Each structure stands twice: as structure tokens, then as C-alpha cells.
């Protein structure tokens, strides 16, 4: 995971593309809210580079009895997999996630968002 230019980047694995997106722990608290392990999933709305809306469900599995604490956050299968199929994602490709100036979650695939300046305001797109 890298954070550059106020966005987060992840190289997709086979699991990310075929099943669920494994969330980097470093994203929690900065980009995404903290999911409570074992509680219900949290809906996270995103817009892609075309302005299309998606909602991914963020969850974290409960720790096993012998673990003191273990968080493995992920976007659940159904909505994430539909997005991966629609975008024809492949292992090794990258996704980019960030907050836009209006406080909306954004997602872009394959190419990083670019910095733009408009009337003195800098934003990613």
C-alpha cells in the first residue's frame, strides 16, 4: 500500500479480483472507518471515474479464540465482485481510492488520479 498525492493505491491479488477486496490495515482510520470485528458490515458509497455509484460493504472478521486481537478488514463479495467483473479487473492491476473535495469516496482503476487546478483549487480526478 502506498499513499501518494492524498490517495491510496493497491495492487490487486487473485483473491481481490475473484472473491473480496482485502483492505490494507493502514487505510483504516485514514481512508475508511474502523469496522468492529464480528459486528455488521458498514456500507461505504463510492463513485468511479465516470461518476457511477457503487456501495461496498466493509467488514472485519472476529478474532479466533486464541487471538487477542486480529482485524482483517475486507469489502464483502457480492458488490465488490460485481464491480471487479464490470471493470474486468485482473490480478496485478492497481486500484486507487481517495476522498474528493466534497467528502465523497472515489475509486479509479488502472491509472492513478491526476492533480488538477481550477480557480485556485487543487483536486484529484
What is the pLDDT, as a whole number, of residue 113? 66
What is the pLDDT, as a whole number, of residue 103? 81
Q: 113 vs 97, which has greater pLDDT?
A: 97
Domains and CATH numbers, the chain: 2-124 (2.40.330.10)
In 3-state terms, what secondary structure has residue 77? helix
Separation of alpha carbons 81 and 49, rounded Å: 18
What is the pLDDT, as a whole number, of residue 119? 56
Q: Is the pLDDT of residue 121 over 80?
A: no
Give the DSSP letter string of 9-70: EEEPPHHHHHT-EEPPGGGBTTTB--PPTTS--EEEEEE-TT--EEEEEEEEPPPPTT-S--
What is the pLDDT, as a whole number, of residue 69? 61
Nearest to 78 by CA among 52, 55, 97, 107: 55
Q: What is the pLDDT of residues 20-58, one digit of tens each?
A: 999 888 888 778 887 777 778 899 999 998 999 999 999
**Judging by DSSP bridges, how do beta strands 105-109 and 94-99 pair with one another?**
antiparallel
Contact 23, 75 (CB under 8 A): yes
Q: What is the pLDDT of residues 56-102, one digit of tens each?
A: 999 887 667 776 666 788 898 899 999 999 999 999 999 999 888 78
In 3-state terms, what secondary structure has residue 78? helix
pTM higher than the cut 0.75: yes
Q: Is the pLDDT of residue 4 over 60?
A: no
Separation of alpha carbons 70 and 64, rounded Å: 8
Amino acid at each position: 500500500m502506498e499513499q501518494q498525492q492524498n490517495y491510496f493505491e493497491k495492487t490487486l491479488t487473485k483473491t481481490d479480483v475473484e472473491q473480496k477486496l482485502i483492505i490494507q490495515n493502514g487505510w483504516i482510520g485514514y481512508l475508511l472507518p474502523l469496522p468492529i470485528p464480528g459486528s455488521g458490515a458498514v456500507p461505504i458509497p463510492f463513485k468511479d471515474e465516470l461518476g457511477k455509484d457503487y456501495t461496498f460493504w466493509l467488514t472485519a472478521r472476529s478474532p479466533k479464540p486464541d487471538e487477542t486481537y486480529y482485524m482483517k478488514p475486507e469489502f464483502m463479495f457480492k458488490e465488490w465482485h460485481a464491480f471487479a467483473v464490470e471493470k474486468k479487473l485482473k490480478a496485478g492491476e492497481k486500484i486507487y481510492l481517495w476522498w474528493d473535495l466534497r467528502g465523497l469516496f472515489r475509486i479509479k482503476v488502472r491509472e492513478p488520479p491526476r492533480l488538477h487546478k481550477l480557480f485556485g483549487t487543487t483536486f484529484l480526478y
